[in-house]
Amino acid sequence: MSAPHRIAVVGSGPAGFYAAEALLRSGVPVSVDLFERLPAPFGLVRFGVAPDHPKLKQVTAVFDRIAGLPGFRFVGGIEVGADVSIPELSVCYHAVILANGASLDRRMGIPGEDLAGSHQAGAFIGWYNGHPDAAGLSFDLSAERAVVIGHGNVALDVARILLKTPDELRHTDIAAHALDALAESRIREVQIVGRGGVARARFSPKELGEFGALADCATGLDPDDLPDGIPEPPIDAGAEARANAAILRGFAEAQGGTGKRRRCLIRFGLEPVRLAGEGRVDSLHLRRPGSDATLALTCGLVVASIGRRTAPVAGIPYDERAGVHANLGGRIQADGVPVPGLYACGWSKRGPHGTIGTNRACGVETAAAVLADLAGLPAPIGNADALVASLAKRIGQTIDYAAWRRIEAAETARGRASGKPREKFVTRAEMLAVAAAAA
Amino acid sequence: MAYVVTDACHGCRYTECVTVCPVECFHLDEQMTYIDPENCIDCGGCAPICPVGAIHPSWQMPAGKGEWVEINRLRAAETPVIAAKIAPLPGADAQAGRLAS
Ligand SMILES: Cc1cc2nc3c(=O)[nH]c(=O)nc-3n(C[C@H](O)[C@H](O)[C@H](O)COP(=O)(O)OP(=O)(O)OC[C@H]3O[C@@H](n4cnc5c(N)ncnc54)[C@H](O)[C@@H]3O)c2cc1C
Ligand code: SF4
Ligand code: SF4
């Protein structure tokens, strides 16, 4: 049998795993090295999906199975673009697939956005999920009101975590530092503000419905936003928009008199104009699109959740408008021409849309493109095993899948003591120490 | 709790749903697909993808469709997993047209 084709996949979120699976199950002899900048795999399944949605995290059992396929290797703790370059990879692999997600928040571009107390959703989500890049951040939760800007599921996650009681979060895998800070929170109201109307909100009905079942928070609407009630979304807005409208009508009717101590208001037709405050934000100014009148909301915390884009990687053409690597169906394109041997997958190919499983269909498509091109790709002249060994030497240890499983076992053991599914290590140093000590 | 395929799927089998399931919990027989409730993680990804709206969460079944919760459980245990899209049954387009109207 001929020597296997070697593929490097960059990023171990769902897209990276599903692309690896499609390649390794194709029947074509390939081996896959999955590069990940952190010592921990799973991308936004670990660091994005909310801690109070534990059932979704069970998808990691599928990733564990993929990691067990012959030909699979996890190369953790290595950042492509910093520790190793794309050309260095291309020399050692037939093909390189970028699955590095969409780690940059889109900015609102309004005055006051950089005041203390104004944050991007990515930072807040990383903080409560124990992402090493966000573990050192702190959020001022001392004011009565917080505002979340954006009408997607990420905005709902941010608001829900701010509004749940410590008891609702205690037995999740929320980072300990976040649980402690949230337990001291004085926030009594969160407003979720968006520019569009009900039909344009990108909430999924399941996530929206959870706001009707919070232990100590009543959810409602502001009658000023929709003076004529909630319109029935047009047929072409889809079944989800109609389901959302029905849920929101329920919130509007149930409003008030619930005896709950916290409140959530879902607001429509309001566009942020500026944030104001001396040194730190104390109000957010909003406008109804098409009108000059502004409205000021007193608040001490603003979290913007208006979209994400892919971090460009040196040497990879970038599509500024879509915020992804320039590609057609997963093949990287420079000026409309495919670049041989370079591919993209997941959020860095399609943008930040869809559910975890959307990345499976996406990974299958990219893997199919790689497999179709494989015969025409030149054999690598470099040695991938030597490269991986030299990278391990550079960071002082090997973070393979067995090393990750040791980190995971230690997290699970720590969590058991406090009744949590796991207590995440929130620094690279702790993870590396555990991986090395138990080796 | 899990998502549940109902008889609206009968005779369609576009299997669009199957491609977006993160945990490969769809099963298939000659007529339709079924979701294995033991494996489904309630991600909700499949429901809006289905062109005929055949998939519903078990906690929100449409009137008269409640029996499909149990049928999915039973049939998923007896039928093979389907992990990739298959060719639709002949007549699937007519079925989709009829249900959409
Ligand atoms: C807050 C939030 C909540 C979500 N909740 C849900 C939900 O409830 N249900 C659902 O179905 N979906 C949810 N999603 C969506 C889901 O997480 C995404 O669809 C999915 O994670 C995208 O997969 P990906 O592999 O493209 O990117 P990611 O998951 O972001 O993975 C990218 C990986 O690449 C690594 N990486 C980045 N740059 C480099 C580099 N230079 N070198 C090496 N590695 C690198 C990152 O560390 C990361 O591990 C949520 C997303 C967010 C942001
Ligand atoms: S997409 Fe819908 S109709 Fe088609 S197989 Fe799946 S559940 Fe059945
Ligand atoms: S809800 Fe998600 S996990 Fe369950 S069957 Fe549908 S796609 Fe699969």
Q: Is the per-residue pLDDT at A1 higher than 80?
A: no
The average pLDDT across A34-46 equals 98
Let me know whether A159 and A25 are in one domain.
no
Buried b (16+ CB within 10 A) or exposed e, B79-89: beebbeeeebb
CB B27 within 8 A of CB B17: no
Instruction: Evaluate whether residue A434 is within a structural domain.
Output: no
Give the nearest partner residue to A59 out of B41, B48, B57, using CB atoms: B41
Nearest to A118 by CA among A144, A139, A143, A145: A139
Instruction: Evaluate whether residue B98 is within a structural domain.
Output: no
What part of B 41-70 touches A (C-beta under 8 Å)?
Answer: 41-46, 48, 53, 57
CA atoms of A193 and A204, how far apart (whole Å): 16
Number of domains in chain B: 1
Instruction: Evaluate whether residue A405 is within a structural domain.
Output: no
Mutate to test the pocket of ligand 1, among A12, A44, A210 (most ligand atoms within 8 A of CB): A44
Q: Is the per-residue pLDDT at B43 higher than 90?
A: yes
- The DSSP H or E segment spanning A303 is strand A301-304
pTM for the full predicted model: 0.95
Does the Cβ of B43 fall within 6 Å of ligand 3? yes
CATH classification of the domain holding A323: 3.40.50.720
Let me know whether A113 and A69 are in one domain.
no
pLDDT band at B88 (very low <50, low <70, confident <90, very high): low
Instruction: Evaluate whether residue B77 is within a structural domain.
Output: yes
The average pLDDT across B54-81 equals 95
Let me know whether A209 and A250 are in one domain.
yes
pLDDT digits (tens, 9 = 90+) for A193-235: 999 999 999 999 999 999 999 999 999 999 999 988 999 999 8
Let me know whether A169 and A272 are in one domain.
yes
Q: How far is CA A204 from the centre of its chain?
A: 16
Let me know whether A186 and A297 are in one domain.
yes
Give DSSP secondary structure letters for A247-299: HHHHHHHH-S-S--SEEEEEE-S-EEEEEE-SSB--EEEEE-TT---EEEEE-
pLDDT number for residue A306:
95
Residue at a domain's end among A306, A328, A343: A306
How far does B90 lie from chain A, in Å, by closest CA? 24
Instruction: Evaluate whether residue B78 is within a structural domain.
Output: yes
Instruction: Evaluate whether residue A94 is within a structural domain.
Output: yes
CB A82 within 8 A of CB A311: no
Task: Please give the structure tokens belonging to residue A66.
Answer: 């993929």
**A36 phi/psi in degrees, rounded to 5:** -140, 130
CATH classification of the domain holding B9: 3.30.70.20
pLDDT number for residue B12:
73
Ligand 2 neighbours by CB, cut-off 6 Å? B 5, 9, 12-17, 32-33, 50, 52, 54-55
Q: Is the per-residue pLDDT at A58 higher than 70?
A: yes
Extract the runs of DSSP E, i.e. beta strands, from A66-110. Answer: 72-76, 95-98, 104-105
CA atoms of A129 and A411, how far apart (whole Å): 13
How many contacts does A have with B, using Cβ atoms within 8 A?
52
Q: Is the per-residue pLDDT at A15 higher than 50?
A: yes
Instruction: Evaluate whether residue A426 is within a structural domain.
Output: no
Q: Does B84 touch chain A (CB under 8 A)?
A: yes
pLDDT number for residue B101:
34
Let me know whether A152 and A210 are in one domain.
yes
pLDDT number for residue B13:
63
Q: Is the per-residue pLDDT at B11 higher than 90?
A: no
Q: Does B24 touch chain A (CB under 8 A)?
A: yes
Query: Mutating which of A17, A18, A350, A356 best tests the B interface, going by the most B Cβ atoms within 10 A?
Result: A356
CA atoms of A210 and A138, how far apart (whole Å): 27
pLDDT number for residue B98:
43
β-strand partners of A96: A8, A342
CB A5 within 8 A of CB A19: no
Show the domain range for A88.
5-103+309-399
Instruction: Evaluate whether residue A233 is within a structural domain.
Output: yes
Mean pLDDT of chain A: 95
Ligand 1 neighbours by CB, cut-off 6 Å? A 10-16, 35-38, 43-45, 48-49, 53, 56, 79-81, 99-101, 103, 125, 154, 157, 346-347, 354-356, 359; B 43, 45
CB A175 within 8 A of CB A218: no
Let me know whether A120 and A178 are in one domain.
yes
Let me know whether A262 and A394 are in one domain.
no
CB A103 within 8 A of CB A48: no
Instruction: Evaluate whether residue B80 is within a structural domain.
Output: yes
pLDDT digits (tens, 9 = 90+) for A284-293: 999 998 888 8
Let me know whether A181 and A120 are in one domain.
yes
pLDDT digits (tens, 9 = 90+) for A228-261: 899 999 988 888 899 999 999 999 988 655 789 9
Instruction: Evaluate whether residue A141 is within a structural domain.
Output: yes
pLDDT number for residue B16:
87
CA atoms of B4 and A278, how far apart (whole Å): 54
pLDDT number for residue B97:
45
pLDDT number for residue B91:
57
Instruction: Evaluate whether residue B94 is within a structural domain.
Output: no
pLDDT number for residue B89:
56
Let me know whether A317 and A279 are in one domain.
no
Show the domain range for B22.
3-86
Query: Mutating which of A17, A55, A153 best tests the B interface, going by the most B Cβ atoms within 10 A?
Result: A55
CATH classification of the domain holding A258: 3.50.50.60
pLDDT band at B10 (very low <50, low <70, confident <90, very high): confident
β-strand partners of A147: A191, A302
Number of domains in chain A: 2
Let me know whether A193 and A333 are in one domain.
no
pLDDT digits (tens, 9 = 90+) for A357-414: 999 999 999 999 999 999 999 999 999 999 999 999 988 999 999 999 999 999 999 9
Instruction: Evaluate whether residue A154 is within a structural domain.
Output: yes
Instruction: Evaluate whether residue B15 is within a structural domain.
Output: yes
pLDDT digits (tens, 9 = 90+) for A60-106: 999 999 999 999 999 999 999 999 999 999 999 999 999 999 999 99
Let me know whether A249 and A155 are in one domain.
yes
CA atoms of A119 and A162, how far apart (whole Å): 14
pLDDT number for residue A340:
97
Q: Return the SS3 of A72.
A: strand
CB A31 within 8 A of CB A364: no
Q: How far is CA B54 from the centre of its chain?
A: 6
Looking at ligand 1, which residue's alpha carbon is closest to its atom 30?
A101
Instruction: Evaluate whether residue A427 is within a structural domain.
Output: no
CB A127 within 8 A of CB A134: yes
Instruction: Evaluate whether residue B26 is within a structural domain.
Output: yes
Q: Is the per-residue pLDDT at A170 higher than 90?
A: yes
